[in-house]
Structure 1
Amino acid sequence: MDLDVFVTAHRAEWDRLEELLRRKRRLTGAEADELVTLYQRTTTHLSLLQTSAPDPVLTGRLTSLVARARSTVTGARKASWRDVARFFTVSFPAAVYRLRHWWIPTALLSTAAGALIAWWISTHPEVQAAIGAPEDLRAMTRPGGEYETYYSSHPAASFAAQVWTNNAQAVALCLVLGAFLGLPVFWVLFQNMLNLGIGLGLMSSVGRLDTFLGLLLPHGLLELTAVFVAAGVGLRLGWTVIDPGPRTRRTALAQEGRTALGVAIGLAAVLFVSGAIEGFVTPSGLPTWARITIGVVAELAFLLYVYVLGGRAVRSGETGDVDASDRDAFIPMAA
């Protein structure tokens, strides 16, 4: 595209659109029709410019024009409870379902890595000795030790809030760092699996694995699933940098980035539930089977939510991205 020729050919249309947008009085019917026509044309011009001859100054001007014209044509859009309901019944589950081929393998491989670390620690006394002094390990693993009192060391409400904050930070790291080719996500996963493997391995070495699982599973199933989903989405975002597919890299990153942001918001709600379980159920006086049952029910409910609502939404064409009316306008371009 010859940028000078392009600007010369269409500048009058952009100027006219800007003139209509500056009008203080109410537009006539003919002027309103003209504004809509110019808005559609300028949207196409912007898309052509972004894909063929990006120019920061001109792109900025046309982006502003398109945004102002869209606001004038469609009216100011206000968020409503209907948007919130749609997000949790369509957009969020659709995004998680669509990206299941990323987070399910992530979950399986991470769990296997955690189990391998636990086995290595539990069967190698020299590794245990490298972790801590014998008296420190006894203080952690004995009945009434640190692993057991950890969940009841603070008031339930404040503990649940602290847990939610910590887990939300881990999820945010996976999603934000995914843009860096996904490599930092592996480090976040390794740290989580290492901490889990150490606890499992040390408690297993003293024959108290059942106690540890009874404390971990009520909240850990849902909590770890949220981390795995975030990691999978982060890895998908990183892969988009490498291979955007038929889309331009900018468009692909914008779409997957918006999806990742939506997943982050949805996972915050999921982690709120797991944090409440960890704060109120895990340290409670309920029998172990009852606490684990609550955790299993919460996990199954989330998976059913994703596969039923998300699967239905994806089959109807949803991707987890925002509504088409809220996206940047672009048109497909031949390679």
Structure 2
Amino acid sequence: MSSTVFGVSQFRAEREADWKRLEAMLDLIEKKSPRRLSSEDLFELPRLYRSTLSALSIARETSLDGSMIAYLESLSTRAYFILYGCRESFWKQIGSFFAQGWPTAVRGVVPEILIIAALFLGSGLAGYFLVLADPGWFGAIVPGELAGGRNMQASVETLRESIYGPPRQGGLEIFATSLFTHNSQVSIMAFALGFAFGIPTLFLIASNGVLLGAFYAAFMSKGLGVGFTGWLMIHGSTELSAIILAGAAGLHIGRAVAFPGERSRLAAAGEAGRRGALVMIGVVIMLLAAGLLEGFARQLITADAARFAIAATMFAIWVVYFTLGGRRRHG
């Protein structure tokens, strides 16, 4: 017993000065600034870190004092984050996300984007022709509270008022908030359900496409197709793009789980999940922009030409940004 105590005391005595010096440096960095370290300290910091790691390894292998091991683990962890943690400021990280992270992640899910877009378009056409063939399908596809009287039996005047009239929900800011919340929930579900091999994601996207097609049938049958498209796309060019991106991110994860290749399913899902998470951060930003366009611009701008111009401009901005953003320039 006495030899063990002596061994611990000797081990501590030989190394404690380095530990205390490393601890003092870390305190100075965390409480004030790395600039307070001298040039000698900056050179010493990596050596002291490696020395502490070595002492921790020895302490674990020889089962030395538990409190000493806990102290060394804490010290090593703090030093690790100082030396190898994120060295960019918050604003630089934000800039890096918009300049490279987000558009690069979107380009990484292009095959899934094409699949989701084709599914959304196809299901929309299916809903449109189904309701045209049998108007009774409209009530089965579109919930009554969502239709709000905009159905196959509605008059031309009622449908026209819903396109060009003021919102009935109250203040525009309240309307924008509710729309942003709803669309965010749909997008997050489309992404989250991707872990189930992407099948629920495909179903959710298809159901939303069919619903949109049913609405088109109601407006087109009354000769209001152009007006409805302008009303929808002033925000829809951003909103529908965001929902498609969310579905693509979810499908990307589902595809990685179902077909991991040479990697393990966990590793494949983890890599796909990180890329999908970057896409989804951007999706929330897109939905916020769409909510503002939907709650304000769509109600304040009633001319079809202006609505189409805004829709085309927003779609062009997203296409150019995702196509060119974050690419390395050569030469």
Q: 1:103 aligns with which of 113, 130, 145?
A: 113
Q: Which residue of 1 aligns with 2:163?
A: 148
Q: 1:89 aligns with which of 70, 93, 99?
A: 99
Number of aligned pairs? 275
Q: Is the 8 A contact 2:194 2:200 kept in 1?
A: yes
Establish whether residue 240 from structure 1 lines up as the match of residue 250 from structure 2: no
What is the rounded CA distance, in whole Å, between the counterparts of 1:294 and 1:183 in structure 2? 34
What is the rounded CA distance, in whole Å, between the counterparts of 1:129 and 1:32 in structure 2? 69
Q: CA deviation at 1:288?
A: 0.5
Q: Aligned letter for 2:167?
A: S
Q: Which residue of 2 aligns with 1:308?
A: 324
**Cα-to-partner distance string for 1:122-145 (whole Å, 9 max, x where unaligned):** 233443576799x95366453234
Matches within 5 A, 1:112-151: 112-128=122-138, 137=151, 140=154, 142-145=156-159, 147-148=162-163
What is the rounded CA distance, in whole Å, between the counterparts of 2:238 and 2:173 in structure 1? 19
Q: Aligned letter for 1:298?
A: M
Q: Which residue of 2 aligns with 1:267?
A: 283
Secondary structure of the 1:244 match is: coil
The structure whose RCO (Cα within 8 Å, separation 6+) is larger is: 1
Q: 2:182 aligns with which of 155, 166, 173?
A: 166
Q: Which residue of 1 aligns with 2:218?
A: 202
Q: Aligned letter for 2:124?
A: G
Q: Which residue of 1 aligns with 2:21?
A: 25
**Cα-to-partner distance string for 1:190-212 (whole Å, 9 max, x where unaligned):** 22112201101122223322232
Q: 1:284 aligns with which of 300, 306, 309?
A: 300
**Cα-to-partner distance string for 1:147-196 (whole Å, 9 max, x where unaligned):** 43787123222211211111111111111111121121022212211220
Secondary structure of the 1:245 match is: coil
Q: Aligned letter for 2:239?
A: E
Q: Which residue of 1 aligns with 2:239?
A: 223
Where does structure 1 lack aligned partners over 5 or more consecutive residues?
1-15, 43-62, 317-335
User: Structure 1 stretch 120-129 or stretch 208-217: which is displaced more?
Assistant: 120-129
Aligned-residue identity in percent: 26
What is the rounded CA distance, in whole Å, between the counterparts of 2:171 and 2:153 in structure 1? 22
Q: Is the 8 A contact 1:39 1:69 kept in 2?
A: no
Secondary structure of the 1:226 match is: helix
What is the rounded CA distance, in whole Å, between the counterparts of 1:81 and 1:218 in structure 2? 31
What is the rounded CA distance, in whole Å, between the counterparts of 2:100 and 2:279 in structure 1? 12
Q: CA deviation at 1:100?
A: 1.1
Q: Is the 8 A contact 1:219 1:275 kept in 2?
A: yes
What is the rounded CA distance, in whole Å, between the counterparts of 2:236 and 2:21 in structure 1? 61
Q: CA deviation at 1:300?
A: 0.8
**Cα-to-partner distance string for 1:37-76 (whole Å, 9 max, x where unaligned):** 8969x9xxxxxxxxxxxxxxxxxxxx99985552143367
Q: CA deviation at 1:254?
A: 2.1
Q: CA deviation at 1:250?
A: 2.6
Aligned Cα root-mean-square deviation (Å): 3.6
User: Structure 1 stretch 73-82 or stretch 238-247: which is displaced more?
Assistant: 73-82
Is the alpha carbon distance of 1:151 and 1:249 closer, same or farther for their aligned partners in structure 2, counting shifts above 3 Å? Answer: farther
Is the alpha carbon distance of 1:32 and 1:267 closer, same or farther for their aligned partners in structure 2, counting shifts above 3 Å? Answer: same
Is the alpha carbon distance of 1:123 and 1:138 closer, same or farther for their aligned partners in structure 2, counting shifts above 3 Å? Answer: closer
What is the rounded CA distance, in whole Å, between the counterparts of 2:167 and 2:308 in structure 1? 17
What is the rounded CA distance, in whole Å, between the counterparts of 2:74 and 2:269 in structure 1? 21
User: Structure 1 stretch 22-31 or stretch 270-279: which is displaced more?
Assistant: 22-31
What is the rounded CA distance, in whole Å, between the counterparts of 2:91 and 2:207 in structure 1? 38
Q: Which residue of 1 aligns with 2:70?
A: none
User: Structure 1 stretch 252-261 or stretch 136-145: which is displaced more?
Assistant: 136-145
Q: Aligned letter for 2:112?
A: W
Larger Rg: 2
Q: Aligned letter for 1:164?
A: F
Matches within 5 A, 1:14-93: 23-26=19-22, 32-33=46-47, 35-36=49-50, 68=78, 70-74=80-84, 77=87, 79-93=89-103
**Cα-to-partner distance string for 1:6-44 (whole Å, 9 max, x where unaligned):** xxxxxxxxxx9xx99x9343379778437448969x9xx
Q: Aligned letter for 2:128?
A: A
Q: Is the 8 A contact 1:178 1:238 kept in 2?
A: yes
Q: Is the 8 A contact 1:151 1:278 kept in 2?
A: no
What is the rounded CA distance, in whole Å, between the counterparts of 2:90 and 2:164 in structure 1? 43
What is the rounded CA distance, in whole Å, between the counterparts of 2:111 and 2:229 in structure 1? 28
Q: Aligned letter for 2:211?
A: N
What is the rounded CA distance, in whole Å, between the counterparts of 1:255 and 1:64 in structure 2? 29
What is the rounded CA distance, in whole Å, between the counterparts of 1:256 and 1:173 in structure 2? 17
User: Structure 1 stretch 207-216 or stretch 83-92: which is displaced more?
Assistant: 207-216
